Amino acid sequence: MFHDSQHAIIPVIFHLNCNDKEEVRKKTLAIRYYFQTLRKDLNIITSKIINSAENEAEKTLKKIRETEKMYLSIYKLSEQGKKIDRELLEYIKKIQIPEESDLRERSDEKLNAMIAIYNESLFDMGRTWKDCDKIIYCEGYTKLLCIDLRTLRRSVLSFSPNIGTYAQACKINKDCYFMNGGYNGSASTSETFIINIKACSYESLPSSTPRRLGGCAFNDNKVYRFGGHTSKAESLSDCFDLNTKKWNQITSLPSESYHNTAAVTGNKIIVSGYHLNCALSFDGNAYTPILNLAANCYKIVAEGYILVQNTLYAYMDGEWQGHNIGTVWDKYCWIYLPFKRGRFIYFVETTSGLMRINTVSFKLEKVPIS
């Protein structure tokens, strides 16, 4: 990398005469200055490399966005039965996205590297704090369990407090989760915590009214809790202000429901639940029905997506578009907190364990863990 002789790393040999203190001092200062200069040059070169990589990444992302825009244009035209420009169609046809199954059938080293890049980089471009490397949940009134999505290994978070099954939960920053309530085996609970999975610590917050199976979402530094179950289905909803550390009541759901699920899409909270026959948009004051759904079935609401029965609805170009996933999903979860990572949305069922849905191929699959 260092082609300039000025920056070449060469042995520095000094014959020091211990009897000549002044010479020793000068030589020592020279050595110190040499390494300071070298360190400075290395920092400059490293910064240039990083800037160059970032510029290339930005160009690639721009190209991906342009291609995606063209694809969405074709998709929308085809859905409307309109004529598609032939040149645009031919351009899209030439784009090839490798299928994981095809790649995994070949074992040479280069393809394995391609698989890693394809899985971890291409679809993880533009990751935000909402993307997850780990899933947390509980299967009883006990310490939290954690699944590392990079290794697919499960472990116990020994530092965590006991959390009730079916707790309300949402992610509030890159490393922290808000956990509230749940079921302790005999009744709904009210304890509230912030769990920091990076620092392996937790913070106790003021308790709420007892609740389990409510929808939960984080927006504008507040955590919203929609409906749920106490000794019966509830429509009562409230929010916890992370600034004031206080619970406040908000507008109740239009009807009682539990096994509820919520997430932010755009600047609105989207909420639905087992007993609700639609998805609702909540603006902080009122609810607006935005999508008709079957009642009396389980649902998963994630940012930009809603899973119900055999359909994954995706929010594209200001519209909710349904995609058949090829199978009927209708099982309840240990925790109604979907975890997004790359093109996958993960969640944990009580019977089948870790599941994920591919938001590109619209396929639902069970994920084996150890």
For the ranges 79-93, 138-152, 264-278, which has the lowest average pLDDT? 79-93
pTM above 0.95, yes or no: no
Say whether pLDDT at 293 is over 50. yes
Predicted confidence band of residue 129 (pLDDT cuts 50, 70, 90) = low
In a domain, 79, yes or no: no
Asked if the structure places residue 290 within a domain, the reply is yes
What is the chain's mean pLDDT, rounded?
83
C-alpha separations of 363 from 103, 205, 296, 360 in Å:
18, 39, 23, 8
* Adjacency order of strands within the sheet including 299-302: 299-302, 305-316, 319-329
In a domain, 222, yes or no: yes
Q: Which two tokens stand for residue 234?
A: 């509830």
Please name the amino acid found at residue 332. Answer: Y
Count of structural domains within the chain:
1
Does the structure show a pLDDT above 60 at 103? Answer: no
CATH number at residue 226: 2.120.10.80
The verdict on residue 29 lying in a domain is: no
Q: Is the pLDDT of residue 121 over 60?
A: no
**Residue 66 lies inside a defined structural domain of this protein:** no
On the 0-12 / 13-18 / 19+ scale of CB atoms within 10 A, 272 is buried
Q: What is the pLDDT of residue 20?
A: 65
Q: Which domain holds residue 332?
A: 134-366
**What value does the mean pLDDT take over residues 178-190?**
96
Residue 104 falls inside a structural domain: no
User: Does some domain include residue 105?
Assistant: no
The mean pLDDT value for 48-60 works out to 74
Q: How far apart are CA 185 and CA 326, in angstroms?
A: 36
- Asked if residue 69 belongs to a domain, the reply is no
Instruction: Return the half-sphere exposure (C-beta side, CA atoms, 13 A cut-off) of residue 347.
Output: 28
